[in-house]
Amino acid sequence: MASPEEAQLDLFLQWLQANGAQFRGCQIKYCDSNKGFGIYSSDNTHEDGVILVVPLDLAITPMRVLQDPLIGAECRAMFEEGEVDDRFLMILFLTVERLRKNSSWQPYLDMLPTTFGNPLWFMDDELLELRGTALYRATELRKKDLLTVYEDKVKDLVKKLLVLDGDSESDVCFEDFLWANSIFWSRALNLPLPHSYVFPQIQEDQEKEISCSVDKSSEVSTSNIYSGSPINENDGKRFEAHGNDTRMTGVTSTSRQGETVWVEGLLPGIDFCNHDLKAVATWEVDGTGSITEVPLSMYLISALQSPSLVEKEISISYGNKGNEELLYLYGFVIDNNPDDYLMIHYPGEALQNISFSDFKGQLLVAQNAAMRCLLPKNLLDSGFFPAGSSNNKAKNTCEADIICNFSWSGHRRTPYYLNKLVFPEDFMTALRTIAMQEDEVSKVSSMLEELVGSEGERQPSGTEIRTAVWEACGDSGALQLLVDLLQKK
């Protein structure tokens, strides 16, 4: 007897093939409860390396949502008024389709995960484990924003759309919207589409113009606007599309017909590829069918020089992302991730609990202090000091000369570690300001009063404040504060 996963997969494969998808060297298989489904190589790989072909008509894009018979009219009105963006359109579409009783997308929706590992789905005690990190704050803000959008825009609109669809009984809840949000962010691909596919009306108008021009002059060329060459996508899954600034019909647009329009969207089938640092496949668009014999299709193609082993998982790259971003978007992390970054952040709300908080807060604002820094984790492999820093004496002396451009004493007392630490100077200056002791606060205050004069003719500049902090304060407080912040990571 087939398992529930196998039964869902069988229906999904039938749905894909009925809608024109072609498996040419792969199969979708259930991996495990953590990874869900994945794509694996089979023994019938084509010589051209094409693994899977899916018609673009199966893609969930902003254009599809705006043309949808049920929600298209409502979405167009909101979109034209600037109330929503293209991502919201797709998330709303997923929310509605999940609740519809007879959705034509049901075989695909049944294959999608119902729970996620990203922090938006953490229990309260799990989320507290992230307290003190940038990810904790980002998750709090994102969930608050999603709740606001749900209450203000989504809840009543989805109910209204379901009633129009003949369903007055289904209830919508925040978890439905949260599910759709997580599906989009964890599965959306950056699709490089032909301009004529995204803007068919413009294409039709230009073809009429060309036809009229040909009638008037036989010298006008009638070559195809889109050449049919495949368009490469090298960066994997992303959460931002690239292109010119003009935005039309929910996509990033370009100015000429023959160019590519980058559109975020979900492509059933190809979106079951999991991530790997050493991706074995990428995806491309075939506008005319010259590669796949399926016009307007997207295909998965092997990136290996030789055929992959049978039953080997076919992975793609989601991009060069650190573990914090991978966890936030996709709900997983990678051991020894070479792209991992460390965000060190001093939370602003903690300032009210330190001594002389008002004075220090004013200094931090005036110097436009950097309260956080982002570093590749491998920079800390040798501790606070980069490997070989002791051999850079001449370079450090030169850099110190550049820094000593202002001082009351005429020769600034540069900390011994300033040009050796992997942490930026502006971040260390902020930590020094926060860690000042009473005697150091008095010194800085006296130096700034001397600078501005007894009548306070002017305010000290940010550079002058930073210099005063460095000249008056010792090293130990800032270093201890840095250690405390790192221990919370």
One-letter amino acid of 177: F
pLDDT at residue 238 greater than cutoff 60: no
Max avg pLDDT among 28-32, 45-49, 116-120: 116-120
Among 450, 444, 448, residue whose Cα is nearest residue 472:
444
**Domain carrying residue 42:** 4-192+263-313
- Domain match, 185 and 288 both: yes
- Extract the tokens encoding 190: 């950056």
Q: What tens digit of pLDDT does each residue of 247-260 get?
A: 233 344 344 456 88
Query: pLDDT at position 163, please?
Result: 95
- Domain match, 295 and 413 both: no
Query: pLDDT at position 258, please?
Result: 60
Query: Is 454 a domain residue?
Result: yes
φ, ψ dihedrals at 412, nearest 5°:
-70, 140
Max avg pLDDT among 180-189, 246-255, 341-350, 464-473: 180-189
Query: Is 18 a domain residue?
Result: yes
Max avg pLDDT among 140-144, 224-228, 376-380, 454-458: 140-144
- Domain match, 357 and 445 both: yes
- Percent helix, strand, coil in the chain, to 5, is 45, 15, 40
Q: Give the model's confidence band at 383: pLDDT under 50 very low, under 70 low, under 90 confident, else very high.
A: low
Q: What tens digit of pLDDT does each residue of 323-332 get?
A: 989 999 999 9
- Which of 3-7, 67-71, 474-478 shows the lowest mean pLDDT across its residues? 474-478
pLDDT at residue 240 greater than cutoff 80: no
Contact (Cβ atoms closer than 8 angstroms) between residue 338 and residue 386: no
Query: pLDDT at position 464, please?
Result: 87
Across the chain, what does the average pLDDT equal?
80
Cα first-last separation, the chain: 48
- Which of 40-44, 88-92, 329-333 shows the lowest mean pLDDT across its residues? 40-44
- Which of 66-75, 299-308, 324-333, 432-441 shows the lowest mean pLDDT across its residues? 299-308
pLDDT at residue 403 greater than cutoff 50: no
Max avg pLDDT among 276-285, 298-307, 335-344, 453-462: 276-285
Query: Is 244 a domain residue?
Result: no
- Domain match, 308 and 427 both: no
- Which of 182-186, 207-211, 242-246 shows the lowest mean pLDDT across its residues? 242-246
- Domain match, 139 and 98 both: yes
Query: Is 466 a domain residue?
Result: yes
Residue whose token pair is 């500049």? 461
Sequence-ordered list of residues with C-beta below 8 angstroms from that of 296, at least 6 positions apart, any chain: 55, 56, 57, 194, 197, 286, 287, 289
Of residues 183 and 341, more confidence is placed in 183
What stretches of 69-129 show up as alpha helix (H) in DSSP? 72-80, 86-99, 106-109, 124-128
Query: Is 301 a domain residue?
Result: yes
- Domain match, 296 and 422 both: no
Distance, CA of 344 to CA of 430 (rounded, Å): 12
Q: Give the model's confidence band at 423: pLDDT under 50 very low, under 70 low, under 90 confident, else very high.
A: confident
Of residues 249 and 281, more confidence is placed in 281
Question: Model-level pTM greater than 0.75?
Answer: no
pLDDT at residue 230 greater than cutoff 70: no
Query: Is 408 a domain residue?
Result: yes
Query: pLDDT at position 64, please?
Result: 94
Distance, CA of 226 to CA of 447 (rounded, Å): 68
Question: How remote is the C-alpha of 7 from its chain's centroid?
Answer: 33
Give the count of domains, the chain. 2
- Domain match, 364 and 425 both: yes
- Domain match, 69 and 119 both: yes
What percentage of the chain carries pLDDT values higher than 70? 76
CATH number for the domain including 23? 3.90.1410.10
- Domain match, 10 and 61 both: yes
- Domain match, 274 and 172 both: yes
Sequence-ordered list of residues with C-beta below 8 angstroms from that of 183, at least 6 positions apart, any chain: 94, 112, 113, 266
- Domain match, 270 and 360 both: no
Among 163, 31, 29, residue whose Cα is nearest residue 96:
163
Distance, CA of 430 to CA of 274 (rounded, Å): 41
- Domain match, 184 and 274 both: yes
Query: Is 80 a domain residue?
Result: yes
- Which of 167-181, 279-293, 337-351, 449-463 shows the lowest mean pLDDT across its residues? 449-463
Please give the average per-residue pLDDT across 90-103, as a whole number. Answer: 96
Query: Is 392 a domain residue?
Result: no
